[in-house]
Amino acid sequence: MKLVIATRNPHKLEEIHAIFNFQGLEVCSAFDFPHIPDVVEDGDTLEANAIKKAVEICQATGLPALADDSGLEVEALNGEPGVYSARWSGEGCTYADNNKKLLRELAGNPNRRARFRTVIALALPGEKPLTVEGSVQGRIIEELRGNQGFGYDPLFVPDGYNQTFAELPAEVKNKISHRARALNAASNVWTHFFQGLEK
């Protein structure tokens, strides 16, 4: 049985494959279904967007679908950019645009606490979608550092480390990141579903 990863973000897809043990499942992605339009992420929460993506891709393909939505939640900005992390600077914005806005919004603010959070949804045909989540605490630094990763990674230093997500080797980030923690939760909580899909 196939499992569809409901994303066309190559960076996200690469991370998921690097982190998650799909236990012999045949895995494909939204890239393999070019006729299916992109899901409009108009939910007010990460949970809503993850569920919407998983359910719509499941319905469009007839296959089980796994989707995630992630966001950076900054304490001094009342949890922003949160669910709007990818498009915080406006439609069509780049990672660089968002990072510039983050530095601008936090300029002179001593409170740099933040967390990355990921919600993962699993949709199976004819069944209610399920969710798990993972998060990692850290702080926002004052200048970009590193060229690994993507998004806000060059500005985020996880607790217990001196390097940003963009400086840490991928194998380290993929053990401690919000997405890694959510995927580990998915693996632990949904083992029986994945084993059932193998048969």
Task: State which H helix or E strand residue 149 sits in.
Answer: none
In the chain, the percentage of residues whose pLDDT exceeds 70 is 96
Distances (CA, A) of 147 to 76, 82, 163, 174, 178: 26, 23, 12, 16, 19
Question: pLDDT digits over 44-67, tens only?
Answer: 999 999 999 999 999 999 999 999
Question: pLDDT digits over 186-197, tens only?
Answer: 988 887 777 766
Q: How many domains does the chain have?
A: 1
Q: What residues make up the domain containing 138?
A: 2-198
3/128 Cα distance (integer angstroms)? 16
Alpha helix (H) ranges present in the chain? 10-19, 46-61, 95-106, 170-176, 178-189, 191-198
Question: What's the pLDDT band for 16 if we cut at 50, 70, 90?
Answer: confident
Residues 42, 69, 97, 159: which is the catalytic one?
A: 69
What pTM was computed for the model?
0.90
CATH number at 15 reads 3.90.950.10
The answer to whether 69 is a known catalytic residue is yes
